Amino acid sequence: MVETKDTKKVGIIGCGAIGTLIAEAVEQKRVACDELILYDHNEKKAEKLKSYLSFPVTVVASLDEMLRFEPKVIVEAASQQAAREYVEQITAEDIDLIVMSSGALLGLNVQSSKVHVPSGAIGGLDALASAALAGIDEVLLTTRKNPKAFDLNNKEPKVVYEGRAEEAARLYPREMNVAATLALTVKPAKVRVQVVSDPAVQRNRHEFQVKWRFGEMFLCFMNDPHPENPRTSALAAWSAIKLLQLLLEK
């Protein structure tokens, strides 16, 4: 091993829009961290991100190399495929893992307390988890995004998907992590999803209605898309930053 876990190191898998925002938060000392370990399958992206930072950063060529640095927390900000591929290996090393691509967890039977899913582009998950204990009858999520988030150019609102959250997360692995996070929170209740490509909206809009044993909930979130990635909301990265703060304080 390179060093011990006495130092607070953070690994980031994926150096795109979300990984970059998290690294910048560390650089700005919003997160109490001693060193960043960056890994991206495109090593040039990791090297480019490192060049922007004055904070101590090491770029590695594989997850195995990252693990040798013994990070306290690793953030997956790459893809569902990366999350599925790495979750068991990371948790086996007793390292906390923040999974941004929450859709990957829908098909896995992950029981580890080391796996954490941030609230992402929405909130109210504590209330939903509490209601799920008593019993949830129905959850309906409606997501509206600008067509460019779906690589479309429709001029009128267009429903691009209706169905279960699990299928929405599979079909739109980068755009619909909200659906996956809801499904994981209210399980075993099912989440129905409607996805709308709407040229009239400039913010990513997520509304969900919940009917549960003792009442109803209606929550709405309208988030600016990340300026470098319209598929995701900036709030998703900030929710990971907040969770990273908490895990590093343990």
| 3-state SS, residue 200 | coil
- Could you tell me where the DSSP H helices lie in the chain? 17-27, 43-52, 63-68, 80-91, 125-134, 165-171, 177-186, 234-248
Give the chain's domain count.
2
Q: Say if residue 105 is in the same domain as residue 160.
A: no
Looking at residue 6, what is its pLDDT? 65
Assess whether 59 and 22 both reside in one domain. Answer: yes
pLDDT at 5: 47
**SS3 letters across 111-154:** CCCCEECCCCCCCCHHHHHHHHHHCEEEEEEEEEECHHHHCCCC
- Residue segments in the chain with a per-residue pLDDT below the cut of 70: 1-6
Contact, 111 vs 133, CB < 8 A?
A: no
| Structural domain boundaries, residue 147 | 125-231
102: CATH: 3.40.50.720
Residue 4 within any structural domain of the chain: no
Same domain, 135 and 113: no
Q: Model's pTM, two decimal places?
A: 0.92
For 124, other C-beta atoms within 10 Å of its C-beta total 17
Residue 2 lies in a domain: no
The reply to whether 41 belongs to the active site is no
The answer to whether residue 238 sits within a structural domain is no
Where does residue 55 rank: exposed (0-12), middle (13-18), buried (19+ CB within 10 A)? middle
Q: Whole-angstrom Cα distance, residue 226 to residue 233?
A: 5
pLDDT of residue 250: 84
